[in-house]
């Protein structure tokens, strides 16, 4: 089905509601700024209570019909949505808007959109395949089973780094489970998220809404009695606030709170492969990936050789506007770049050495750019090893052996992902067993699979996205006991046999 984006106008604040773009009820709006050029991309509304209530009412109305729709019909519509995403000639325009809003290099934006359809297909069929469980009965004449039911209306609070893909991860699962969805995009990527909404025109009106806004908009959605589950991706501080608000209302939530992922380079690592893989895992999207490798633990025996090859490959990366030829785009904001610069500066002041980068490009464009940076001589007590940097910085700590690397990798409040390069099977299996993280990558970091859970440990979050567990996050189990041979049971009240009581009581 061809998609017509003619009614979407970045310069006019809009919401997506009832299958169409509409004027917001709120009068306040903000500007979306291109972090590479500092020019205005467009305007988006800061939705307030009236907008939230309007969307919640529409979503609940649509969900009452959607939950009654059989799973085969739901799946057919989700496959039609996937077809629209895959075959729309306007997908390149959405990719360009992602680049302009948050600085992502154009090939990466195209790649993000290219992998969105598969998650809708996966969950469409997963929901058809798994509707519950029949248990072995504990009573003759009784049919005992568990079935799944949707929660109702789910809220999806999104990050800026993968604004479309991460939307699809949780929205696909929620829709497949029978819910309606309300999306609150990141402020930095509100326009591209709104633009993507029109792909959902194949679904019943009201089943999906998009309300741009700020933290107060998100809180209004969470606090509403008309929403019933929350999916959040963002900082630890924001995740805590979301978690507290959900707990106060007994509202289930999935929280992905980022991390400071370790990368271990064993003495058995294939050095050229490891160096190339680390360039990608550290500097993809300028290090603004939740699972970016930030803390490197390199075994002493191969430390110098690895650093040399890692630096050689890193120096080949081009810094610039994502709409031109460049692998390293800008940070999303001035505040984000300031944090990266602070962490690097403090590490150097404490004895770390800059191998490459470590500065704002001296002759670069006007945006929020920072050169891809490698630091050596880093120690575990430095702030750059304790905080989430979320920028193009690889902080390398020299360690005596693989055992020390594992121990230091686990010495963190975060536990999202962890990566290892080794050709030693025993080391690989040991790492998979002992690393305290939701995901472990061995010799191929940052790979996702629709059928496997994406989750965090420690302060990196609660719950799962993707996989069967990702579907379960948006539905509740219900036990059903059906006695198809109705009869009076001897344990029902009033009791007819005093033998149930001790002899002295019965007498």
Residues 133 and 145: beta-carbon distance below 8 Å: yes
Using the Cα atoms of residue 435, residue 437, residue 440 and residue 445 in order, give the sign of their dihedral. negative
Residue with tokens 């009791």: 495
Catalytic residue chosen out of the listed positions 256, 294, 309, 465:
256
Give CA–CA dist 167/128, Å, rounded. 21
What Å distances lie between residue 125 and 13, 77, 129, 434, 468, CA to CA?
36, 11, 6, 34, 11
3-state secondary structure at position 318: coil
Residues 6 or more apart whose Cβ sits within 8 Å of residue 209? 15, 16, 17, 18, 55, 58, 59, 181, 182, 183
Give CA–CA dist 101/58, Å, rounded. 29
Buried b (16+ CB within 10 A) or exposed e, 463-489: bbbbbbbbbbbbbeeeeeeeeeeeeee
What Å distances lie between residue 85 and 4, 190, 414, CA to CA?
12, 19, 34
Residues 6 or more apart whose Cβ sits within 8 Å of residue 324? none
Residues 6 or more apart whose Cβ sits within 8 Å of residue 298? 264, 265, 306, 307, 396, 397, 398, 399, 405
Q: Which residue from 358, 460, 368, 461 is spatially nearest to 414, judged by alpha carbons?
A: 460
Q: How many residues are listed for the chain in this entry?
A: 507
Using the Cα atoms of residue 212, residue 217, residue 219 and residue 224 in order, give the sign of their dihedral. negative
Residues 172 and 123: beta-carbon distance below 8 Å: yes
What Å distances lie between residue 38 and 68, 104, 188, 321, CA to CA?
48, 14, 12, 11
Residues 282 and 261: beta-carbon distance below 8 Å: no
Give CA–CA dist 209/212, Å, rounded. 10
Q: Which two tokens stand for residue 496?
A: 């007819």
Any catalytic annotation for residue 301? Answer: no
Give CA–CA dist 112/166, Å, rounded. 10
Any catalytic annotation for residue 464? Answer: no
Q: Which two tokens stand for residue 171?
A: 């929205």
Half-sphere exposure of 197 toward its Cβ, with a 13 Å CA cutoff? 33
Supply angle C-alpha 98, 100, 101, rounded to 5.
65
Residues 442 and 277: beta-carbon distance below 8 Å: no
Catalytic residue chosen out of the listed positions 246, 290, 356, 464:
290
The catalytic residues are: 256, 290
């Amino acid at each position: 089905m061809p998609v017509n984006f003619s009614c979407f106008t970045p310069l006019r604040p809009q919401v997506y509601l009832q299958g169409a773009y509409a004027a917001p009820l709120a009068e306040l709006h903000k500007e979306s700024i291109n972090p590479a050029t500092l020019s205005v991309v467009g305007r988006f509304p800061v939705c307030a209570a009236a907008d939230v209530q309007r969307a919640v009412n529409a979503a609940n109305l649509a969900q009452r019909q959607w939950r009654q729709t059989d799973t085969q019909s739901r799946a057919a519509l989700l496959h039609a949505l996937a077809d629209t995403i895959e075959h729309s000639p306007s997908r390149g325009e959405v990719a360009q808007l992602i680049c302009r809003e948050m600085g992502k290099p154009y090939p990466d934006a195209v790649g993000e959109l290219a992998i969105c359809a598969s998650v809708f297909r996966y969950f469409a069929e997963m929901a058809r395949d798994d509707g519950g469980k029949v248990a072995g009965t504990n009573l003759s004449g009784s049919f005992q089973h568990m079935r799944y039911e949707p929660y109702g209306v789910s809220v999806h609070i999104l990050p800026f780094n993968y604004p479309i893909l991460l939307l699809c991860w949780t929205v696909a699962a929620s829709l497949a489970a029978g819910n309606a969805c309300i999306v609150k995009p990141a402020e930095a990527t509100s326009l591209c998220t709104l633009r993507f909404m029109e792909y959902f025109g194949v679904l019943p009106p009201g089943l999906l809404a998009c309300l741009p806004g700020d933290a107060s908009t998100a809180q209004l959605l969470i606090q509403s009695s008309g929403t019933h589950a929350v999916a959040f991706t963002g900082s630890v501080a924001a995740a805590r606030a979301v978690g507290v608000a959900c707990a106060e209302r007994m509202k289930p939530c999935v929280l992905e709170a980022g991390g400071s992922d370790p990368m271990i380079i064993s003495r058995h690592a294939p050095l050229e492969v490891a160096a190339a893989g680390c360039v990608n895992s550290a500097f993809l999207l300028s290090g603004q990936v939740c699972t970016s490798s930030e803390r490197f633990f390199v075994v002493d025996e191969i430390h110098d050789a690895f650093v040399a090859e890692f630096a050689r490959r890193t120096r080949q990366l081009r810094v610039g506007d994502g709409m031109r030829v460049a692998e390293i785009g800008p940070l999303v904001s001035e505040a984000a770049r300031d944090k990266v610069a602070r962490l690097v500066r403090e590490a150097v002041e404490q004895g770390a050495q800059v191998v490459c980068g470590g500065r704002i490009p001296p002759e670069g464009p006007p945006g929020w750019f920072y050169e891809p940076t490698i630091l050596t001589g880093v120690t575990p007590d430095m702030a750059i090893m304790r905080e989430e940097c979320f920028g193009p910085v690889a902080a390398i700590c020299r360690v005596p052996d693989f055992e020390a690397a594992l121990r230091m990798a686990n010495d963190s409040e975060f536990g999202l992902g962890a990566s290892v390069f080794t050709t030693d099977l025993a080391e690989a299996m040991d790492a998979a067993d002992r690393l305290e993280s939701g995901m472990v990558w061995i010799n191929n970091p940052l790979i996702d699979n629709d059928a496997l859970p994406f989750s965090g440990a420690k302060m990196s979050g609660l719950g799962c996205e993707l996989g069967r567990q990702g579907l379960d996050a948006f539905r509740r189990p219900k036990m059903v006991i059906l006695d198809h041979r109705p009869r009076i049971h001897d344990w029902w009240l009033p009791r007819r046999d005093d033998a149930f009581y001790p002899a002295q009581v019965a007498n």
